[in-house]
């Protein structure tokens, strides 16, 4: 393990997620969502309320998945300080 210290301030948001979201197949070509795309979406909506972010991520996942089966557990946690 490596020890890391992160300076955080009130209002900062910390996100953690499993690989289940990023590994989900879907979209127009049936490909993986990818963690880079997930990070882009999270950054693009940081100014929304936590509830609005949850709703958008839920909809995004369902729309991406389409008719394909969910392949893994999906966990996304956002903590606003």
Average confidence (pLDDT) over 50-67: 97
pLDDT band at 8 (very low <50, low <70, confident <90, very high): very high
- Give the pLDDT confidence score for residue 54 in this predicted structure: 97
Q: What is the pTM of this model?
A: 0.87
Cβ neighbours of 33 (radius 10 Å):
20
Q: What is the DSSP letter of 69?
A: P
- Give the pLDDT confidence score for residue 29 in this predicted structure: 95
Q: Are 56 and 48 in contact (CB under 8 A)?
A: yes
pLDDT band at 31 (very low <50, low <70, confident <90, very high): very high
Whole-Å CA distances, 32 to 11, 15, 43, 50, 59: 32, 20, 19, 25, 16
């Amino acid at each position: 393990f490596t020890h890391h210290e992160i300076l955080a301030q009130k209002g900062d948001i910390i996100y953690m997620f499993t690989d289940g979201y990023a590994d989900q197949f879907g979209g127009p070509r049936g490909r993986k969502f990818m963690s880079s795309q997930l990070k882009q979406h999270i950054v693009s909506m940081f100014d929304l309320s936590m509830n609005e972010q949850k709703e958008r991520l839920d909809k995004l996942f369902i729309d991406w998945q389409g008719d394909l089966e969910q392949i893994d557990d999906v966990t996304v946690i956002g903590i606003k300080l």
